[in-house]
Structure 1
């Protein structure tokens, strides 16, 4: 993650929004408060890609796994959403973005905190993902991104027998193998979900085609966060906003991804493991938040 010590005042040029086209079908009745009310001919990305590799049903009972797995620390995978401040009708948060995009999006990440409400306090304090680009091309902050809430993750299938992943309360609980750090697991998971990351998708042909269909410039949908460090500020790309439905087959895919990460770590010899990590620039000076290119 790259960063910036100040909020730039320079104008960021967004492509002109084409006229809105007629929607093809309505999914929910008129007046419904659901975030996604209409159907569009867009092929949404799915975490893990369209062909998600599946583990054998007895993967965690095989000698190749059981003989090498040693339980380590516990982390939680969570899905968060936000919106609808009763005191301000304009503060719609992530649900407002979902309505404009007409797609289900959530914040997906991991935490070592056992009380998820502590993570919510941090997200609300930072107004995570509030930063975007206005219609005239300037950085701006949307309202409602201080009402984050954890969502239930409800896979339709159970974890595999002997799995180190369990379905918890508003999270998936992962018992990491000894030697695997929470940071490493987090980056492994993000790597496998990268195709469904909102900001990246907006720069693809499918993303641009969808925005053109809606008549919205992609820059107005990209997300970022401004972080404060006493009197200094930095802005960062909102890399943890994904296309994800926590009560659908997407939850099954998330469960399988988590199981696969642990299984492959345990069954791969240490000398052959491919470590996915990164240089921490979270408190540096460069910015990585930018709108999609015109």
Structure 2
């Protein structure tokens, strides 16, 4: 296991999957972790994307591919748990990376994640420590039970959603808006909530030492930031349904003017924070 070594659980956990199961949640825990999009999420009307009120305003822009990814099977050491899979195993929670790419070949994004070892660091009392297994990121399939609405600018394209962004919605603003709408299921944030702390206490873990970090290098100036694109998420069924609803609503709300045009405020200053 690559997360901070767990202590002794407060009580023995009841196993719900057999020993050797590849599932992340193998024992019953009472924690009611959040589902992305908050409890009140609702789909748009069936005619939302065919109504002239939308079609007369929508101008398609760049293709963008929202994805869900995981890592953790080391082909050289298949007997050892590692990567994000190990984090999920240790916390008994379904954890995935959710973000988007506009690369013509989305698989290129995986190369970047592997190169930077995304989410491979933890913060211990001795400082940051990098853990193994974060160099084999792979896309996982979204498996929604519902189809996109008629005329929707979003389709399910193999492992990924394919989304035609509105022409005046930048990739950076799109990702900020997406994170805002699913932030209730953010792993790093959840761990510090009362429910997250109770969950970690049940497992004998320190919440702050379960948060994930990424080390970025910009020439001679490295920077370590929280890996904020990790979410509690189940790709099969309801959570993928919710993701589709969230994406459709995001595009619809932007086109219909229901989201303030504040792209300057959404720019991530992190890459510029250490310039002199």
TM-score (norm 1): 0.86
For the Cα contact (< 8 Å) 1:23–1:40, is it kept in 2?
Answer: no
1:258 to 237, 241, 247: 247
CA change 1:23–1:91 in 2 (3 A) is closer
Please name the residue that 1:171 is paired with. 160
| Separation in structure 2 between the aligned mates of residue 283 and residue 189 of structure 1, nearest angstrom | 20
Q: Distance in 1 between matches of 2:254 and 2:189?
A: 27
Which blocks of at least 5 consecutive residues in structure 2 are unaligned? 1-5
Q: Helix, strand or coil: the match of 2:58?
A: coil
> 1:284 Cα shift?
3.3
Mean alpha-carbon deviation: is it higher for 38-47 or for 224-233?
224-233
- Is 1:154 aligned to 2:133, yes or no? no
Equivalent residue for 1:113?
103
CA distance in 2: counterparts of 1:20 and 1:73, whole angstroms: 49
Runs of 4 or more above 6 Å deviation = none
For 2:162, what is the secondary structure of its paired residue?
strand
Please show how residues 276-287 of structure 1 align to structure 2 within 5 Å. Answer: 277-285=265-273
Cα distance in 2, alignment partners of residues 117 and 66 from structure 1: 31
CA contact (8 A) 2:115 2:135 kept: yes
Is residue 2:247 matched to residue 1:275? no
Write the mapping of 1:1-20 to structure 2, written as runs, cut at 5 A: 19-20=8-9
Q: Cα deviation per residue 1:234-268 (whole Å; 9 max; x = unaligned)?
A: 11110000001112210111111000011111122
Contact 2:143–2:235 (CA under 8 A) maintained in structure 1? yes
Q: Give the Cα separation in 2 of the matches to 1:65 and 1:229.
A: 42
Q: Any idea what SS the aligned residue of 1:145 has?
A: coil
Of structures 1 and 2, the one scoring higher in RCO (CA 8 A, sep 6+) is: 1
Give runs of aligned pairs for residues 114-153 of structure 1, distance below 5 A. 114-134=104-124, 136-153=125-142
Matched with 1:69 is 58
TM-score (norm 2): 0.91
Aligned pair 1:98/2:88, yes or no? yes
For this pair of structures, how many residues does the alignment match? 268
Q: Report the CA distance between 1:170 and its aligned residue.
A: 1.2
| Residue 48 of structure 1 pairs with residue 37 of structure 2 | yes
Root-mean-square deviation over aligned CA pairs: 1.9
> In the TM superposition, what whole-angstrom CA distance separates every residue of 1:141-164 from its partner, at most 9, and x where no partner exists?
111011101111111100011101
